[in-house]
């Protein structure tokens, strides 16, 4: 097969990787439908994919991963920059030369008897000034077909790259999925990514977390922009005006759901609606006095469990064609898929995510808690008309949030950018099934970037502070918590569509349209300012509780944050100032003042 590019740097790197991996065959992925169709067919034949009911789910497939390969592996993820201190205390580091040797030893002959697929891909719109190009070499058809959904691939990428040498090099070998030799490795100084012994989502779809966050956060720092774990959405008000916000929540904490929100019926009637620009990653840059965001991806790699026509119809509809499902259950009655929370009628007979027979009486879950769908963005009924705009959208507000059963109130606004960076830096959230390890443990996850920041966390905070100074009209910064619980452990806030009520307050505040109560944490809504008309069944008393701040819990929080700062080291002094000021406000029994 002929090469798709004459770019010497690309070809010589591929030659080098070919010599190491020793494939039987090399296939360039052109992006043409004919080639992709042949690969789908081959994957079905080889048992990699199961073709689903073509009438109910046209173009859809099911894939089951190895049961030990179901989520990102943070303890096997490395940032191998030149100096250990530049990776910082939140990243694993190994000296680059040593790591290359280890990786190339694992890759030695890894493609023997197999095919090397070369995927040219673009993060962001091909040809746009903000697009970045990469090549992923893989022996996995599953990766090829997922990258086709998640990014823009094929010959057009090579044409746009031309002879430029600023591309991202990626090598992925499934090997034998040996857990002990699983590695997700980044070499920021060489723009290189190597994934070994995994075939799961965020570990191997390298455009996503590896490139668009870990490598891109490094590029952003050097080039004066930001790569963030953020959704991007547009809020349309009854006057037809659209304001954009971006929001950083940790993995499996509600980004996809918020990005595709459908407002409560009453608010819809008034003309409120939400447009989805992105559900996981935002690249942000300064332009015309403001901060602008693009979504570098082209699809959604979303959490399946809990996704239903009730919780997130837009996401569910997005999966109704041309979608790959991973680790959900197969409904044997009609060859479709099922997961916990899809509906209240589990299939009488199914095959679970491990490939075993399953019935509603089975003690275990039918779908893995981190089972996912890979769906093309164009399928989303509320996809923003700005999705394909290479300029991106201007951001009015940045929202941080996480899963906190007690501490964080429903919503508050920071006093200013510097205070907002502080709020992001002390974010904490309960862990979820998106990464291997314990679930439900509260940990610090600054800006939802703990697993994705490709350099020293202290330097990253400094970059945030520096960026703020350069934006003439910076977005306002907020914090939300949809996951506060009552005494019985139930969620105290209905969440999902009702989150629209909080978004309304956020954009009113971003535009300085309404007043707020000043508290020790920041600005909070006056209770009547959260739109409780139009069907919210919540008493003023409960609403006040949702917005309440427990002083003792927060003093404890300050102590924890201080400890965390000490662990990080190299914390910008401005953030210590903010921490001291918060503690002082709490200790003084800060008066709540209504404007
Ligand atoms: P990643 O793809 O891992 O980055 O996850 P995400 O941040 O996009 O999370 P997603 O929207 O997929 O939601 C994860 C889980 O949280 C799902 O089980 C949702 O049902 C649940 N969830 C999302 N929004 C809400 C909410 O407002 N309230 C409650 N209680 N649960 C929510
Ligand atoms: C996340 O964990 O934040 C995800 C899923 O979006 S993965 O692509 O596996 O990282
Ligand atoms: Mn994510």
User: Would you tell me the crossing angle of helices 417-425 and 573-587 to the nearest 10 degrees?
Assistant: 90
For residues 72 and 78, give the distance between their C-alpha atoms in angstroms, rounded to a whole number.
Answer: 12
Q: What angle do CA 166, 167, 169 make, to 5 degrees?
A: 135
| CA gyration radius, the chain | 24
93 has a pLDDT exceeding 50: yes
pLDDT digits (tens, 9 = 90+) for 449-488: 999 999 999 999 999 999 999 999 999 999 999 999 998 9
415 has a pLDDT exceeding 50: yes
Residue 537's pLDDT band, with cuts at 50, 70 and 90, is confident
- The answer to whether the CB of 209 is under 6 A from ligand 2 is yes
pLDDT digits (tens, 9 = 90+) for 490-536: 999 999 999 999 999 999 999 999 999 999 999 999 988 887 666 78
Residue 541's pLDDT band, with cuts at 50, 70 and 90, is confident
SS3 132: strand
> Which positions are catalytic?
253
Contacts of 432 (CB under 8 A, 6+ apart): 250, 251, 252, 253, 370, 403, 439
**Per-residue b/e over 489-498, b at no fewer than 16 CB within 10 Å?**
eeebbeebbb
DSSP state of 210: I
Residue 185's pLDDT band, with cuts at 50, 70 and 90, is very high
* Ligand 1 atom 11: residue of nearest CA: 254
**Nearest partner of 415 among 243, 231, 581, judged by Cα:** 581
Q: What angle do CA 60, 65, 69 make, to 5 degrees?
A: 140
For 279-365, where are the E strands, in sequence order? 282-287, 290-294, 299-303, 324-326, 329-331, 336-338, 350-351, 357-358
- The answer to whether the CB of 445 is under 6 A from ligand 2 is no
Determine what percent of the chain is predicted with pLDDT higher than 70.
98
How far apart are the CA of 41 and the centre of ligand 3, in A? 30
What strands, in cross-sheet order, belong to the sheet with 336-338?
A: 336-338, 329-331, 350-351, 357-358
Residues 60, 324 contacting (CB under 8 angstroms): yes
| Ligand with minimal distance to 310 CA | 1
Q: Which atom of ligand 2 is nearest to the CA of 251?
A: 3
**Nearest partner of 317 among 394, 380, 247, 411, judged by Cα:** 380
User: Would you tell me the crossing angle of helices 417-425 and 457-470 to the nearest 10 degrees?
Assistant: 160
Q: What is the biggest distance separating any 2 CA atoms in the chain, rounded to whole angstroms? A: 73
Q: Which atom of ligand 1 is nearest to the CA of 312?
A: 20
How far apart are the CA of 8 and the centre of ligand 2, in A? 33
How far apart are the CA of 251 and the centre of ligand 1, in A? 8
102 has a pLDDT exceeding 70: yes
**Nearest partner of 292 among 159, 467, 525, judged by Cα:** 467
Ligand 3 ion: residues within 5 Å (CB): 251, 280
- The answer to whether the CB of 249 is under 6 A from ligand 2 is no
SS3 231: strand
Residues 49, 40 contacting (CB under 8 angstroms): yes
Q: Which atom of ligand 2 is nearest to the CA of 208?
A: 8
How far apart are the CA of 192 and the centre of ligand 1, in A? 31
Residues 42, 322 contacting (CB under 8 angstroms): no
Contacts of 245 (CB under 8 A, 6+ apart): 232, 233, 235, 395, 396, 397, 398, 399, 475, 503, 506, 507, 510
Q: Left (φ > 0), alpha (ψ -120 to 50) or beta: where does 273 sit?
A: beta
Q: What angle do CA 75, 76, 79 make, to 5 degrees?
A: 100
Residue 589's pLDDT band, with cuts at 50, 70 and 90, is confident
What strands, in cross-sheet order, belong to the sheet with 50-51?
A: 50-51, 61-63, 324-326, 372-376, 299-303
Residues 247, 400 contacting (CB under 8 angstroms): yes
pLDDT digits (tens, 9 = 90+) for 132-171: 999 999 999 999 999 999 999 999 999 999 999 999 999 9
């Amino acid at each position: 097969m002929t090469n798709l590019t004459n770019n010497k740097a690309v070809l010589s790197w591929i030659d080098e990787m070919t010599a190491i991996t020793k494939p039987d065959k090399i296939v360039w992925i052109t992006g043409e439908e004919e080639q992709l169709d042949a690969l789908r067919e081959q994957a079905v034949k080889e048992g990699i994919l199961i073709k689903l009911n073509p009438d109910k789910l046209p173009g859809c497939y099911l894939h089951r991963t190895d049961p030990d390969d179901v989520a990102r592996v943070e303890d096997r993820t490395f940032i191998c920059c030149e100096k250990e201190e530049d990776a910082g205390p939140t990243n694993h580091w190994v000296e680059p030369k040593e790591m290359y040797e280890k990786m190339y030893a694992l890759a030695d002959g890894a493609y023997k008897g197999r095919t090397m697929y070369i995927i040219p891909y673009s993060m962001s719109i091909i040809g746009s000034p903000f697009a970045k190009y990469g090549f992923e070499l893989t022996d996995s058809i599953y990766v090829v077909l997922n990258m086709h959904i998640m990014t823009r691939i094929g010959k057009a990428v090579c044409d746009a790259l031309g002879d430029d040498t600023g591309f991202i090099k990626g090598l992925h070998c499934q090997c034998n999925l040996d857990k002990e030799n699983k590695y997700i490795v980044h070499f920021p100084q060489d723009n290189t990514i190597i994934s070994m012994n995994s075939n799961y989502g965020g570990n191997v779809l390298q455009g996503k977390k590896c490139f668009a966050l870990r490598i891109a956060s490094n590029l952003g720092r050097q080039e004066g922009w930001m790569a963030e774990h953020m959704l991007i959405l547009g809020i349309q008000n009854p006057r037809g005006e659209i304001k954009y916000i971006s929001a950083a929540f940790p993995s499996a904490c509600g980004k996809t759901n918020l990005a595709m929100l459908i407002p409560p019926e009453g608010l819809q009637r008034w003309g409120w609606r939400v447009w989805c620009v992105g559900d996981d990653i935002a690249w942000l840059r300064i332009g015309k006095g403001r901060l602008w965001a693009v979504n570098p991806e082209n699809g959604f790699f979303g959490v399946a469990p809990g996704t239903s026509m009730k919780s997130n119809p837009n996401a569910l509809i997005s999966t109704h064609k041309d979608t790959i499902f991973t680790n959900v259950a197969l409904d044997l009655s009609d060859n479709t898929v099922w997961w916990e929370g899809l509906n209240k009628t589990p299939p009488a007979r199914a095959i679970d995510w491990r490939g075993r027979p399953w019935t509603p009486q089975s003690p275990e879950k039918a779908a893995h808690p981190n089972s996912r769908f890979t769906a093309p963005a164009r399928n989303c009924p509320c996809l923003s008309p700005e999705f394909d705009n290479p300029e991106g959208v201007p951001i009015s507000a940045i929202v941080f949030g996480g899963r906190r059963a007690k501490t964080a109130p429903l919503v508050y606004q920071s006093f200013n950018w510097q205070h907002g960076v502080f709020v992001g830096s002390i974010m904490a959230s309960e862990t979820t099934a998106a990464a291997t390890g314990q679930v439900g443990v509260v940990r610090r996850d600054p800006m939802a970037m703990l697993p994705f920041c490709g350099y020293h966390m202290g330097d990253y905070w400094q970059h945030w502070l520096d960026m703020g100074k350069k934006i003439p009209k910076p977005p306002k910064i907020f914090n939300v918590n949809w996951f506060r619980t009552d005494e019985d452990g139930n969620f105290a806030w209905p969440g999902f569509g009702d989150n629209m009520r909080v978004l309304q307050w956020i954009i009113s505040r971003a535009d300085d349209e309404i007043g707020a109560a000043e508290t020790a944490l920041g600005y909070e809504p006056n209770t009547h300012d959260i739109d409780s008309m139009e069907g919210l069944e919540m008493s003023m008393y409960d609403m006040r509780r949702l917005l309440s701040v427990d002083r003792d819990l927060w003093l404890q929080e300050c102590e924890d944050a201080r400890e965390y700062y000490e662990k990080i080291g190299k914390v910008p002094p401005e953030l210590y100032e903010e921490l001291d000021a918060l503690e002082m406000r709490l200790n003084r029994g800060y008066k709540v003042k209504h404007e």
